[in-house]
Structure 1
Amino acid sequence: MTEKKVRVRFAPSPTGGLHLGGVRTVLYNYLFAKQHGGDFILRIEDTDQSRYVPGAEEYIFETLKWCGLEPDESTQHGGSFGPYRQSERKESYRRYAEELVAKGVAYYAFDTAEELDAMRNRLRTAENPSPQYDRTVRTQMRNSLTLSKEEVESLLQQGTAHVVRIKMPEEETVSFTDMIRGEVSFDTSVVDDKVLLKADGMPTYHLAVVVDDFLMQITHAFRGEEWLPSAPVHVLLWRHLFGEDKMPLWAHLPLILGPSGKLSKRDGAKYGFPVFAMNWKDPKTGELTEGFRERGFLPEAFINMLAVLGWNDGTEQEVFTKDELVQKFSVERVHSGGAKFDFEKAKWFNHEWIKKLPATAYSQKVKSIFEEKGLAIQDDAYLEKILELVKDRCTLLPDFWEHSSFFFRAPKTIDFAPVMAKWNSDKKAFFTALGHPLRSVSDWKAATLEALFKNLAEGAGIKPGELQLPMRLMLVGGKFGPPVFDIAEILGKEETVNRIEAALEQLP
């Protein structure tokens, strides 16, 4: 028998920004599909129109593009299994809901919002603060299980608002094999009768995910562990509609944990780190949630950090390229327990990737940062040369400003405090006389400049080490930066001499 082509999907709701956990789910889907020569599908689950947020769908696609995790099929990429937006598949769901009712495994429920509220108020206790519509409650409500066939037909013909609910069996065990957790079993008696089709004709997630996974021939489904409680409903729907043998293999991914439980937006705001891939501004409230991209993370570092947040390849390796992740990823090595997010570790990954990549990979991003600060870059090659020199010192992309902006303009202020205790007339005389020999250098290279500087220092009877820090301050304005003669080489002869002479005017 020919093995099925691997097809995986990510099915976000367009309700806001994309959280770390969502991007990690995308990543694991993507890696698994690419490793097996399969397809990665993105399906928009917009069945809950009340939660739809304008711009959220576009944001999701932009996020995946930035991460380098673009789908093979989607609303934007097309494909043979569309439409890829659930609201455009509305008509297909009712047919399956009706099939379930006809088989006696689902039923029409005509209860009004007021009747449902009255039921909850009547049954609410300290032990049961949120009563559910379950096997015991269904017998007390207005549905096709308690009404006569004639009453049901009459209500349907009159167009009475209703939903379709699954009829959960009593005292049955539903099991499936999870790719991460192994055999998982549920007692159906403790699961409520979930709504499958809403009064507006739109399916809930439970019906839609099963129907769409079948029609789109999904073979493996990665989703967060928060969906585990819904698994028995989905297994039963597969059993009743298409057969459990057609069901995708599931992997329920562990939570990403913050300082106090599941990582949330509130954690980011409280502890000062991003939890979304990119900036997200809520169009309803105007609230801005900062993203990793805007904080100065490279996409390579971001997906590397996410990959090992709940997975490892069994070795000590931590830094992986995307190709290496595709090659080495295995579901069996995904942890079943929650993975704690560590922002300092995330920054470590970014630092490693800034060092690992050539400066050309991020020079345009740094250029944009400089331009936002009012510094126009005219020469990209010059910029890249500087970034290569200082990249080992930078953790986030905005750090390049501090470590290299002085190459483009002389410092407005100079912090002479570190040298003032040992500053004297001999040292001032040394720097006053330095301009002439520097202007005479024909081979303006760091090694040549360093040799000349040491010779002149020895001739003046001053230790070269005591003169290098003052020179650094004159060139860059503070006690930082790469080797001082490398700085002078890049600045060039005229700029180096001009900065020394300008700085001398500020010294006693």
Structure 2
Amino acid sequence: MAVTTRFAPSPTGYLHVGGARTALYSWLHARQSGGVFRLRIEDTDRERSTPEAVQAILDGMAWLGLAHDGGIEYQTERFERYRALIGQLVEAGHAYPCYSSAEDVEAMREAARARGDKPRYDGTWRPAPGKVLPEPPAGVDPVIRFATPQDGDTVVHDLVKGDIILPNSELDDLVIARGDGTPTYNFCVVVDDMDMGITHVIRGDDHVNNTPRQLAILKALIDIGAAGERAEPPQYAHVPMILGADGKRLSKRHGAVSVMAYREQGILPQALLNYLVRLGWAHGDQEIFSVDEMLAHFDISRVQGGAATFDPDKLLWVNQEHIKAAPADRLEAEFSWHLQRQGIDPSGGPALTDVIDVLRERARTLVEMAEKAAMFYQPVTGYEDKAVNKHGKPPAAERLAEVHAALAGLDDWQPEAIHAAVHRVAEQAEVGLGKVAQPIRIAVSGTAVSPPIDQTLWLLGRDESLARLAAGMEYLRGIAEDAG
């Protein structure tokens, strides 16, 4: 049987980073073996599940590049299947109707606590040989409980945590259908994994306690022939939680936890995947991974069992490394998205790939890169007072006039020729290059900060550079005249 994994989020909100890491691990495990990666939307919580949340999950998966195979399974479209199997389990004696109210069950649990026992349902309505059941109360719709085996142990062979052994005597008779007939989470998950042919269930370790119960249900479904030819349960891998720096479970108080919020902050999808894969897994001392390298080296059995800590500064470092290393054309679409979010139209300016190559060494995020790139696509609307006061005093205007004349005579508008021309102006004026370069920066960007002058002017182009130099020159002359 081909390796088949799944990602099964509940559409009650955005795709968070913990879910994204689970999806990534599942995707990697399937892809590296030539297997199948399925997507299931667990939308049985009808009050909290929304179409907007479903779309947010799909958007996050698409942005990360974690493509699934086949159609999307929705649990709300499978209720008939669940009800049919619950009926079969009842007929076979693996499940039974229970008329105990919520108050009755709570009283049972309190009594167990008082005895020093584990709080649980006491099996009042569970059939047994020779047992006389109470008379069903009138007007009460019973829940359906699964008759959990009471002898022996349930063993979970966990690929991350090792064998987890739980005596069946500690397991409650789980409710698998509510009084209104709707199936519960633990039952739906088992049926879905069975019907979808899931061979490996990779999920957060907050599900560890559910797994023995789900295994017992699956074995009962196999026993009644509902699983077809399948005779073995899937393998399980429960991955550790992600914590904030304070040791608490990652949440909004630690900053952004939504995948798409990290996009808005200028994180590359490849960088976020790289960072997430390392939250609990390592390959030697390697920190930076391409997706191909993840596929080559990832091993679910080498995921650590302890919780991982999310470090935003480390994510920024990983992101910058990806920005510096990625081919410019691979960054182009995402960079354009950020420019447009800042109201910048790049269509009338230099090629995005050229701007990326000039700015990539100085930007930790694509937001920073877009901010630095604005000068190439928008006119200078003002000059920073601090920059003018420091670098715009006489004879700065004269230096700009000399630069303007030198550049206007260039036949070759390339960085090397531009650099040589600016350098000649500095030599002829017998001043350091900074005395010439800083007034140029003020003129073409409005500030004292820009990429190297030769690359900046090259990207702006001859006509735009000369126009900005002329305007800056006139502005600095006006400042000098006013001061005089």
Structure 1 length-normalised TM: 0.83
Q: Report the number of matched residues.
A: 470
* Structure 1 position 95, deviation (Å): 3.7
**For 1:71-470, what aligned pairs fall within 5 Å after superposition?**
71-75=68-72, 84-116=73-105, 132-134=119-121, 137-139=122-124, 148=132, 151=135, 160-170=140-150, 172-242=152-222, 245-268=231-254, 273-278=255-260, 291-313=261-283, 315-379=284-348, 382-415=351-384, 417=386, 420=389, 425-470=394-439
Q: Distance in 2 between matches of 1:39 and 1:208?
A: 21
Q: Distance in 1 between matches of 2:431 and 2:60?
A: 57
- Letter of the aligned partner of 2:123 in structure 1? R
- Letter of the aligned partner of 1:233 in structure 2? R
Q: Distance in 2 between matches of 1:120 and 1:149?
A: 20
Q: Distance in 2 between matches of 1:110 and 1:91?
A: 23
Structure 1 pair 202–476 and aligned structure 2 pair: CA distance change class (3 A): same
Note if contact 2:348-2:377 (Cα within 8 Å) is conserved in structure 1.
no
Note if contact 1:17-1:56 (Cα within 8 Å) is conserved in structure 2.
yes
Structure 1 pair 69–425 and aligned structure 2 pair: CA distance change class (3 A): closer
Note if contact 2:6-2:38 (Cα within 8 Å) is conserved in structure 1.
yes
Note if contact 1:132-1:192 (Cα within 8 Å) is conserved in structure 2.
no
- Letter of the aligned partner of 1:60 in structure 2? I
Counterpart for residue 5 of structure 2: 8
* Structure 1 position 255, deviation (Å): 0.6
Identity %: 32
Counterpart for residue 39 of structure 1: 36
Q: Distance in 1 between matches of 2:281 and 2:159?
A: 14
Note if contact 2:345-2:377 (Cα within 8 Å) is conserved in structure 1.
no
Q: Distance in 2 between matches of 1:223 and 1:262?
A: 19
* Structure 1 position 170, deviation (Å): 4.6
Structure 1 pair 379–497 and aligned structure 2 pair: CA distance change class (3 A): closer
Give the superposed CA RMSD.
Answer: 2.9
Q: Distance in 1 between matches of 2:164 and 2:174?
A: 20
Give secondary structure in 2 for the equivalent of 1:352.
helix
Q: Distance in 1 between matches of 2:76 and 2:458?
A: 62
Give secondary structure in 2 for the equivalent of 1:69.
coil
Structure 1 pair 50–500 and aligned structure 2 pair: CA distance change class (3 A): closer
Note if contact 2:242-2:250 (Cα within 8 Å) is conserved in structure 1.
no
* Structure 1 position 430, deviation (Å): 3.0
Structure 2: gaps spanning 5 or more residues: 224-229
Counterpart for residue 472 of structure 2: 503
* Structure 1 position 338, deviation (Å): 0.8
Q: Distance in 2 between matches of 1:266 and 1:61?
A: 21
Q: Distance in 1 between matches of 2:422 and 2:406?
A: 9
- Letter of the aligned partner of 2:257 in structure 1? V
Q: Distance in 2 between matches of 1:461 and 1:9?
A: 69
Structure 1 pair 426–113 and aligned structure 2 pair: CA distance change class (3 A): closer
- Letter of the aligned partner of 1:13 in structure 2? S
Q: Which moved more, 1:419-428 or 1:337-346?
A: 419-428
What are the superposed Cα offsets for residues 60-102 of structure 1, whole Å, 9 maximum, x if unpaired? 2222111111210233xxxxxxxx2222222232343344444
Give secondary structure in 2 for the equivalent of 1:378.
helix
Q: Distance in 1 between matches of 2:430 and 2:84?
A: 95
What are the superposed Cα offsets for residues 236-277 of structure 1, whole Å, 9 maximum, x if unpaired? 223323169510011111111113345343324xxxx31111
Give secondary structure in 1 for the equivalent of 2:51.
coil
Note if contact 2:339-2:345 (Cα within 8 Å) is conserved in structure 1.
yes
- Letter of the aligned partner of 1:112 in structure 2? S
Q: Which moved more, 1:383-392 or 1:117-126?
A: 117-126
Structure 1 pair 87–297 and aligned structure 2 pair: CA distance change class (3 A): same
What are the superposed Cα offsets for residues 142-197 of structure 1, whole Å, 9 maximum, x if unpaired? 66569846945xx7xx8841111233455743212111111111133433322112
What are the superposed Cα offsets for residues 98-124 of structure 1, whole Å, 9 maximum, x if unpaired? 444445443321123454466567777
Q: Distance in 1 between matches of 2:217 and 2:106?
A: 28
Structure 1 pair 43–232 and aligned structure 2 pair: CA distance change class (3 A): same
Counterpart for residue 59 of structure 2: 62
Q: Distance in 2 between matches of 1:297 and 1:50?
A: 33
Structure 1 pair 109–50 and aligned structure 2 pair: CA distance change class (3 A): farther
Q: Distance in 1 between matches of 2:47 and 2:379?
A: 55
Note if contact 1:419-1:469 (Cα within 8 Å) is conserved in structure 2.
no
Give secondary structure in 1 for the equivalent of 2:437.
helix
Note if contact 1:109-1:144 (Cα within 8 Å) is conserved in structure 2.
no
- Letter of the aligned partner of 1:248 in structure 2? P
Give secondary structure in 2 for the equivalent of 1:246.
coil
* Structure 1 position 203, deviation (Å): 1.8
Structure 1 pair 456–14 and aligned structure 2 pair: CA distance change class (3 A): closer
Note if contact 1:256-1:339 (Cα within 8 Å) is conserved in structure 2.
yes
Note if contact 1:311-1:333 (Cα within 8 Å) is conserved in structure 2.
yes
Q: Distance in 2 between matches of 1:394 and 1:422?
A: 25
Q: Distance in 1 between matches of 2:265 and 2:10?
A: 25
Give secondary structure in 2 for the equivalent of 1:161.
coil
Q: Which moved more, 1:35-44 or 1:258-267?
A: 258-267
Give secondary structure in 2 for the equivalent of 1:196.
strand
* Structure 1 position 500, deviation (Å): 2.5
Structure 2 length-normalised TM: 0.87
Q: Distance in 2 between matches of 1:232 and 1:459?
A: 83
Q: Distance in 2 between matches of 1:310 and 1:300?
A: 17
What are the superposed Cα offsets for residues 422-454 of structure 1, whole Å, 9 maximum, x if unpaired? 766444433334332322222222222222222
- Letter of the aligned partner of 2:235 in structure 1? L
Structure 1 pair 487–50 and aligned structure 2 pair: CA distance change class (3 A): closer
- Letter of the aligned partner of 1:490 in structure 2? L
Give secondary structure in 1 for the equivalent of 2:413.
coil
- Letter of the aligned partner of 1:214 in structure 2? M
What are the superposed Cα offsets for residues 325-382 of structure 1, whole Å, 9 maximum, x if unpaired? 1221111211111111111111222212222223332333333433343432224762
Q: Distance in 2 between matches of 1:328 and 1:306?
A: 15
* Structure 1 position 233, deviation (Å): 1.0
